[in-house]
Amino acid sequence: MKPVEKISENKRYTAVSVGKLSELMQHSLIHPVNKRIIEGKVFLKEPTGATGTEISFQSLPPHTELSYFHRHRKNEETYIFLHGTGLYQVDDDCFAVSEGSVVRVAPDGIRGINNTSDEPLIYIVVQSKENSLEEYSTADGERIAHNPQW
């Protein structure tokens, strides 16, 4: 199992690296409930210290489907597809996804993924609590004069 590499860290931030996206299969984890090894998946909440999201990378091998459908209790998920092509199903709707596809699923949507292609299907999953975001972007952000160190 390849570890997530720590780049830099202090109280205000943590920077890590999962390595090249084409090498995600070097990451694996043990599922906390059924104790099976999941290859090609890496979770980032713990290594980055994130408090508003659980973000994961996943590489699903060619001609492989996720072994289960699932839903959530409180959390929305957004799937961001970076490489490959496949089929995404929510409830009884099934549609094609590829590089640049983004799917937002409400907690009770029953979701599954099938990599129908000859290449790995590489994607990011962002889990966050439904309805948790208040102000955002420019309403929450503030520009600050600051000296670049580069």
* 18 neighbors 42 (Cβ within 8 angstroms): yes
The least distance separating its own copies from the CB of residue 19, rounded to whole angstroms, comes to: 5
28 makes contact with its own copies (CB under 8 A)? no
What is the footprint of its own copies within residues 83-122 (CB under 8 A)?
87-106, 108-112, 114, 116
User: Quick one: which H or E segment has residue 46?
Assistant: helix 45-48
3-state secondary structure of 107: coil
Classify residue 64 as left (phi > 0), alpha (psi -120 to 50) or beta: beta
The least distance separating its own copies from the CB of residue 1, rounded to whole angstroms, comes to: 16
Question: Which CB sits closer to its own copies, 11 or 118?
Answer: 11
131 makes contact with its own copies (CB under 8 A)? yes
Question: Which CB sits closer to its own copies, 118 or 148?
Answer: 148
36 makes contact with its own copies (CB under 8 A)? no
* 96 neighbors 86 (Cβ within 8 angstroms): yes
What is the footprint of its own copies within residues 57-86 (CB under 8 A)?
65, 68-76, 78, 80, 82
The least distance separating its own copies from the CB of residue 100, rounded to whole angstroms, comes to: 5
Report how far residue 28's alpha carbon sits from residue 10's, in angstroms, rounded to the nearest whole number: 27
Question: Which CB sits closer to its own copies, 118 or 131?
Answer: 131
Q: How many CB atoms lie within 10 A of CB 26?
A: 15
3-state secondary structure of 25: helix
Tokens of 123: 């994607």
Choice from 26, 28, 50, 117 touching its own copies (CB under 8 A): 50
The least distance separating its own copies from the CB of residue 75, rounded to whole angstroms, comes to: 5
